Amino acid sequence: VFIKHGCELKSFHESNPLKLYGKRIKENDFEQAKLIAKEFNLNTMDVLKSKFIYLREQDNVVVNEEMINELNEIEDEEFILDFCLNVECESIESFNLIYDFGIEKFPIMQSLVYKFGTFKLLNLSVKEWKRFKRIGMYEEAIKYLKQGDIYKSFVLIKRHFEEIENVLQVLENIPTNRNPKDYSILVSILIKEEMSEWVEKRCRFIEHYLQNASLALEFLNIVWKFNSNENINRLKVELELIVYLKEKHSIIKRLGDDLSDQGVINVMMERITCIELIPKEIENHIKPFCIKRGIDYEELIVDYCLKVEDLDFISSLINCLKSDDKKMELILNLLKDLNSENLINSTILLNEFTNSDSDSTLNNLIKMIMFSM
């Protein structure tokens, strides 16, 4: 190439070699400028720097081994680092070449190379690298969540957990209408014990917003692997109870409702439409519930009877009690309120059981109570 331009170089040599040298650089004819520099002992570093400044400003730069060797000839490390950080490559292969060179020459590029690893995991377009390398991971993670791309957001959070200042604030941006099954496993990878408040809040949100305690419980079981938080443990017990009541007893309860044993028994009692159904309700629902809870179902029945006024209902419930002690406990408690109506009702009950097949000891005690009245 140099020989082909012999005439021009001859005239150039006879006048000013720097002029043609500068002209070739200005025209981005760097190969010719490099030949001129060598011929007339000019500074080849200026040619190389000019070439890489030009390349840095271009899109879709193809990086090859020859370019890497030329870059390595430049003695200005700050210049080289700037090029490695800012060149826009046309392919992943070009990226790999420039960053392999950069990480070997500058340990400071380690963090950027790690970010580039994230970039590749996200499978983004090469053209997006210029923007991606400058943005914060916090903002980017939120952006992906708002777009509904949960996977990309969690890749960012997982790989840059320490640099994202408020992970919980990022997680708050999970779309409200998204099924927890879409993100529960991903969340479980991130959750630490100090995130208990967010986990509890999210479970309550799922139960309330989606009206699905089963889904909230499933989310909690997947996400939370610790057992030292009282609030979480209590929430889990409540969700388990709500799910059990719905599946086994067709009782719909929500977080915040009365979930006490007596409260549940009251619901079971109140849904009985006629006294003939009392034995069935007790056998199919009240007893199994109390056995699961490890409580005395007759004790709860006694407590319930003290709050109702339907004598026939109370009488039917008493007939379902197997313990004479509980029967007497109920009748005696009814007698404590000595207003005329309750006194009459209790007397009727006493008469009824005196004429029943109850244990003779119970009958004798009832007769003694009646006599004392």
pLDDT at 356: 52
pLDDT at 201: 94
- Among 198-212, 264-278, 340-354, name the one with the lowest average pLDDT: 340-354
pLDDT at 116: 80
pLDDT at 340: 41
pLDDT at 199: 93
SS3 61: strand
Res. 217: pLDDT tops 50: yes
Point out which residues pair with 61 in neighbouring strands: 89
- How far is the C-alpha of 205 from the C-alpha of 203, rounded, in Å? 5
Q: How confident is the model at residue 369 (pLDDT cuts 50, 70, 90)?
A: very low
For 90, other C-beta atoms within 10 Å of its C-beta total 15
**Long-range CB contacts (within 8 A, 24+) of 232-235:** 232/196, 232/199, 232/200, 235/200, 235/203, 235/204
Please state, rounded to an integer, the average pLDDT across all residues of the chain. 82
pLDDT in tens, 2-60: 444 444 554 544 457 778 878 888 888 888 888 888 888 888 888 888 999 999 888 88
Would you say 318 and 348 are in contact if contact means Cβ atoms under 8 Å apart? no
